[in-house]
Amino acid sequence: MPLDDKVTRQSAPLPPNEAARIKALQQLVILDTPPEQQFDDIVQLAAAITGCPIALVSLVDTSRQWFKAKCGLDATETDRGIAFCAHAILGKELFEVCDASSDPRFSANPLVTGTLSIRFYAGMPLLSKQGFAYGTLCVIDTKPGRLNDFQRQAMERLARQVVWCMEARLQHEQDAGVSKSLTSLLEFLPDGLITTDIEGNIKHVNSIARRWHGIDPATINRQEWPLYFELFDQSGKQRLALADTPLTRVLRGEQVKDQELIIRSKGQPERLMLCNADYLRDSQGRRTGAVVVMRDITANRDASRSIADKNRRLSVILEGTRAGTWECNLQTGAMELNDRWADIIGYRLDELSTLNVEMLERWVHPDDLAMCREALQQHLRGELPLYDVTMRMRHKHGHYVWVHDLGRVFEWGPTGQALKIAGTRLDISAMKQRDAEVASARNYLQEIINAAEEVSIIATDAQGLITLFNSGAERMLGYSAKDMVGKQTPAIFHLPKQVEQRAKELSSQYDRNINGFDTFVHEVRTGGTDTRQWTYVCRDGSLKQVRLSVSALHEGQGKLIGFLGMSMDLTRQLEAEESARVSIERFERAFAAAAQGMALLSVTGHWIDVNDALCQMFGYTREELLKIDLDQLTYPDDLNKDLQLVRQTLDGAISHYQMEKRYIDSDGALIHGILSVSLVRDSRGWPMHFVLQIQDISALKHMETLKDEFVSTVSHELRTPLTSISGALGLVCGGVLGEVPESMQEMLSVASNNALRLSALINDLLDMEKLVAGKMNFSFHEVDLTALLDEALITMESYAAPLAITIRRVGTAPARISVDPMRLGQVLSNLLSNACKFSPKGAEVKLEHKLVDNMVEVSVIDQGSGIPESFRARIFQKFSQADASTGRSKGGTGLGLVICKELIERMHGEIGYESFEGQGTRFWFRLPVL
């Protein structure tokens, strides 16, 4: 509707109570609601009674009038400035305008001048009890007019009716709200609730009752109930007839109090119900239906059943075990006991013949006495079905034993007083001991947690406030539990930057803002553990790398009560990793740069890596070499021995080995190498790969060959002239060429002896050289020792004869041994010639053998002067002779015994001697007998 300045000038003033009036109007919650029949009826009635074409229920809002009901008009509202009703609400009586065109307040009103052309208006204010005019009930005509008395009264009544309707409507809305919240309250009651109307039709079943029935019984036909649920009596044996159900009973007029019944429904455990039912009544006390309230008492029944079971079991145990029994006359205090009862506290029954309650109480542990008496009194008063007490009793020996008494009054007096009580007693010390042990183990575990110095254990409440700070945490962070618990959050020892960084990650991951304490626990709220590396800031400002595992703590019912964080200091581990990395790098550098050939070889024999030196040694490029099998590079004769060692290494018999091995290079030339192999195993001990090092000793081998040739040549070149010299002298001295003049004999003998000595010296030197270089080959044969000894005897006779020494064999026991016969002969001739040399003329040398355990011992015994004390330590050392001057006269190189020792040891034997100065010497060696 158009507005102009004139219109505003003609507007009605505001009522004096305008603000309160608007508030009252708003409280009706009626503005802008849909039309309602009761109001529409009233305006129709008003129009009919007044004969006006237009009738309205108009509510005057702050800046508009809004029509709750209307007839004869399309508009739903108009501006308050042009509203006739704005004038009408200023008074309490009917406001009547007979001809608006001649009324100066309305003549220029667009409602009057416009198409609507209002001439007549009569509005009755809609007054609340407090006197606020919500608006009007008004009638309008395009012709001037006036209401008669009847019409005026009708308007007043109708207006009162409108107000009543509006206020009743509000009340109804409010009631509906209350009823709605009541319904939802009932819906979530822990007790089951079912209501019916007075006919017994089910009206409402709350959610717990629906759950117990497996269905909402109101939604299905009564005949179909057994398909879903059935009701039984409390024994569970008798199906409950409809007539016996609580609701039916109530509606029949019975009182239903604490009726027990059982519901068995599909998909639900059997439930024992305690039911109470009553009528539902309306506000006037009329019966409108019935309600039953059901409580699930299944758990109570199970508990009482288990007590019954326990008692049954006890009686069985009583018969089976030697439980103590007792009976007490409560009037006299006299007691009757059995042997076992007495035995439990260390007495014989006859020692307790005078026992009464008073004495008995003196044996009860002082801390348990009051509890004991109270339990008895409770039982006697009927508050407890049993006298059930665990207590300590003093044993005859002074210590306390734990006993469990279970008793019951079995005789009552005529006035209901307890007369006699009887029961059993069990010795439960062992059980208590176990309990104590469990408790102590638990304590111990707690102590371990406390003492877990390496692990920091920190718990917080749900908001992050620290609730536990163990000694490991104290140690790791330098804060004391006292300063942390209940005072700080973990933020205090975290790097803010790191936490922010993590918070950002989480925020973007979950697409919402995550920060603060939530950063640590966001991912574990619903379970699981979040483990990651963090930096802790210790109290002294130092930083520690830790691995933190966070998990949520829940109460029994699953309610989150806090979080638990366990962290381990990674600093040392990271250092170890770093040092491992450095050593790997170092190895890699060493590997690449090594002057010697090196390679990594898989356990299956394939190259993993080779270094430059190895490539160079074999004359291949790296790429070529990696394609060639190591076996192909090996000189065929050397392959097997290597493979054997590889097997032993993989088996764990050896961890590494070294061998001389020949290889073939790219030109087909032979390479002599020393192969060193070690097997690298992982932390679990599984073989990972071999590390090979091959030292090229071809040049060395060449040198060795040269040396061998040199030694061979030199010995040959020396011996050839020596052969002539000693041979010639031998022949001369041997008289082969005729008698030697006496004057020459001595000189020839000197020459002959020295030629022999030179020869022996050369032989010994060669032997020594071979032994030192490990080159003396032994050709082992199984032989009879006695034959070898006899042979040695014959060989030595020509040596001994000129010295007038007799060699005597002692011992005949056969002994098979495995030796190199030539080398053993060498030892024997050495020992025998020594014995001859150092024996006085005409003396006897004994060559003896005997079996000692698994060995055969061969002794060469002389009657010489014995070995001087001072020399004994050096006897098996090179170039040693007791006395240089005598030694020379006796001949010899001083190498003989050293060679003997080496030879015997190489033939798996041992050598030694016994000597007493002035009484001769016994040299012996032992060899294993086959």
Confirm if 256 and 250 have CB atoms less than 8 A apart: yes
How far is 294 from 206, CA to CA, in rounded Å? 11
Taking the complex as a whole, the smallest distance from the CB of residue 733 to another protein amounts, in Å, to 9
Binding residue for another protein, selected from 627, 684, 716, 841, defined by CB under 8 A:
716
Taking the complex as a whole, the smallest distance from the CB of residue 707 to another protein amounts, in Å, to 12
Residue 693 is encoded by which pair of tokens?
């090092």
Hey, which residues between 235 and 264 contact another protein (CB under 8 A)? none
Distances (CA, A) of 636 to 100, 254, 661, 669, 777: 135, 111, 10, 13, 23
Q: Using CB under 8 A, which of the segments 262-270, 339-347, 373-381, 724-732 binds another protein? A: 724-732
How far is 569 from 285, CA to CA, in rounded Å? 76
Angle of CA points 395, 399, 403, to nearest 5°: 55
Hey, which residues between 548 and 567 contact another protein (CB under 8 A)? none
Taking the complex as a whole, the smallest distance from the CB of residue 793 to another protein amounts, in Å, to 15
Residue 664 or 740: the one with the smaller Cβ distance to another protein is 740
Amino acid 230 reads E
Binding residue for another protein, selected from 189, 595, 737, 810, defined by CB under 8 A:
737
User: Closest Cα to residue 388, out of 363, 421, 437, 429?
Assistant: 421
Residue 723 sits in the site that holds another protein (CB under 8 A): yes
Confirm if 808 and 845 have CB atoms less than 8 A apart: yes
Taking the complex as a whole, the smallest distance from the CB of residue 725 to another protein amounts, in Å, to 8
- Indicate the burial class of 382 (C-beta count within 10 angstroms; 0-12, 13-18, 19 or more): exposed
Strand order in the sheet with 921-928: 806-810, 844-852, 855-861, 921-928, 910-915
Residue-by-residue DSSP string for 338-369: -HHHHHHTT--GGGGTT-BHHHHHHHB-HHHH
User: Closest Cα to residue 866, out of 811, 803, 799, 919?
Assistant: 919
The number of residues that bind another protein (CB under 8 A) is: 29
Residue 36 or 791: the one with the smaller Cβ distance to another protein is 791
- Indicate the burial class of 324 (C-beta count within 10 angstroms; 0-12, 13-18, 19 or more): buried
How far is 51 from 804, CA to CA, in rounded Å? 182
Q: Using CB under 8 A, which of the segments 68-76, 208-216, 709-717, 837-845 binds another protein? A: 709-717
Q: Using CB under 8 A, which of the segments 159-167, 383-391, 608-616, 730-738 binds another protein? A: 730-738
Residue 724 sits in the site that holds another protein (CB under 8 A): yes
User: Closest Cα to residue 475, out of 557, 528, 396, 539?
Assistant: 539
3-class secondary structure per residue, 104-167:
CCCCCCHHHHCCCCCCEEEEEEEECCCCCEEEEEEEEECCCCCCCHHHHHHHHHHHHHHHHHHH
The Cβ-side half-sphere exposure at 320, using a 13 Å CA radius, reads 6
Residue 614 or 755: the one with the smaller Cβ distance to another protein is 755
Taking the complex as a whole, the smallest distance from the CB of residue 698 to another protein amounts, in Å, to 20
Taking the complex as a whole, the smallest distance from the CB of residue 772 to another protein amounts, in Å, to 14
Taking the complex as a whole, the smallest distance from the CB of residue 781 to another protein amounts, in Å, to 14
Residue 515 or 715: the one with the smaller Cβ distance to another protein is 715
Binding residue for another protein, selected from 128, 545, 715, 806, defined by CB under 8 A:
715
How far is 659 from 671, CA to CA, in rounded Å? 14
Q: Using CB under 8 A, which of the segments 212-220, 381-389, 457-465, 732-740 binds another protein? A: 732-740
Residue 726 or 833: the one with the smaller Cβ distance to another protein is 726
Binding residue for another protein, selected from 371, 722, 751, 761, defined by CB under 8 A:
722
Q: Using CB under 8 A, which of the segments 64-72, 539-547, 616-624, 731-739 binds another protein? A: 731-739
How far is 799 from 831, CA to CA, in rounded Å? 12
Q: Using CB under 8 A, which of the segments 288-296, 707-715, 740-748, 878-886 binds another protein? A: 707-715
Binding mask 602-641 for another protein (x = CB under 8 A): ----------------------------------------
Residue 721 or 814: the one with the smaller Cβ distance to another protein is 721
Distances (CA, A) of 865 to 257, 800, 840: 129, 18, 8
Taking the complex as a whole, the smallest distance from the CB of residue 840 to another protein amounts, in Å, to 26
Residue 381 sits in the site that holds another protein (CB under 8 A): no
Binding residue for another protein, selected from 53, 144, 200, 730, defined by CB under 8 A:
730
User: Closest Cα to residue 335, out of 361, 304, 296, 369?
Assistant: 361
Strand order in the sheet with 95-97: 77-79, 64-71, 54-60, 133-141, 120-127, 95-97
Residue 726 sits in the site that holds another protein (CB under 8 A): yes
Residue 728 sits in the site that holds another protein (CB under 8 A): yes
Please state at what angle helix 742-773 crosses helix 698-733, rounded to 10 degrees. Answer: 160
Binding mask 319-358 for another protein (x = CB under 8 A): ----------------------------------------
Taking the complex as a whole, the smallest distance from the CB of residue 754 to another protein amounts, in Å, to 12
Residue 269 sits in the site that holds another protein (CB under 8 A): no
Taking the complex as a whole, the smallest distance from the CB of residue 828 to another protein amounts, in Å, to 17
Binding mask 121-150 for another protein (x = CB under 8 A): ------------------------------
Residue 659 or 756: the one with the smaller Cβ distance to another protein is 756
Amino acid 90 reads L
Binding residue for another protein, selected from 621, 712, 877, 886, defined by CB under 8 A:
712
How far is 2 from 6, CA to CA, in rounded Å? 11
Taking the complex as a whole, the smallest distance from the CB of residue 691 to another protein amounts, in Å, to 35
Taking the complex as a whole, the smallest distance from the CB of residue 811 to another protein amounts, in Å, to 25
Element (H, E) at 851: strand 844-852
Residue 91 or 727: the one with the smaller Cβ distance to another protein is 727
Binding residue for another protein, selected from 178, 243, 699, 736, defined by CB under 8 A:
736
Residue 16 or 802: the one with the smaller Cβ distance to another protein is 802
How far is 392 from 743, CA to CA, in rounded Å? 123
Residue 660 sits in the site that holds another protein (CB under 8 A): no
How far is 218 from 206, CA to CA, in rounded Å? 11
Taking the complex as a whole, the smallest distance from the CB of residue 870 to another protein amounts, in Å, to 35
Binding residue for another protein, selected from 336, 437, 708, 917, defined by CB under 8 A:
708
User: Closest Cα to residue 859, out of 926, 762, 797?
Assistant: 926
How far is 839 from 796, CA to CA, in rounded Å? 14
In the block, tokens 């010497």 appear at 921
Residue 646 sits in the site that holds another protein (CB under 8 A): no
Q: Using CB under 8 A, which of the segments 102-110, 276-284, 497-505, 715-723 binds another protein? A: 715-723
Angle of CA points 30, 169, 66, to nearest 5°: 25
Hey, which residues between 751 and 810 contact another protein (CB under 8 A)? 755, 759, 766, 770, 776-777, 779, 798
Q: Which residues pair with 422 in a beta bridge?
A: 327, 408
Residue-by-residue DSSP string for 592-606: HH-SSEEEEEETTS-
Q: For residue 259, give the 3-state DSSP assignment.
A: strand
Residue 63 or 798: the one with the smaller Cβ distance to another protein is 798
How far is 877 from 768, CA to CA, in rounded Å? 12
Residue 268 or 715: the one with the smaller Cβ distance to another protein is 715
Residue 10 or 763: the one with the smaller Cβ distance to another protein is 763
Residue 53 sits in the site that holds another protein (CB under 8 A): no
Which parts of this chain interact with another protein (CB under 8 A)? 708, 711-712, 715-716, 718-728, 730-731, 734, 736-737, 755, 759, 766, 770, 776-777, 779, 798
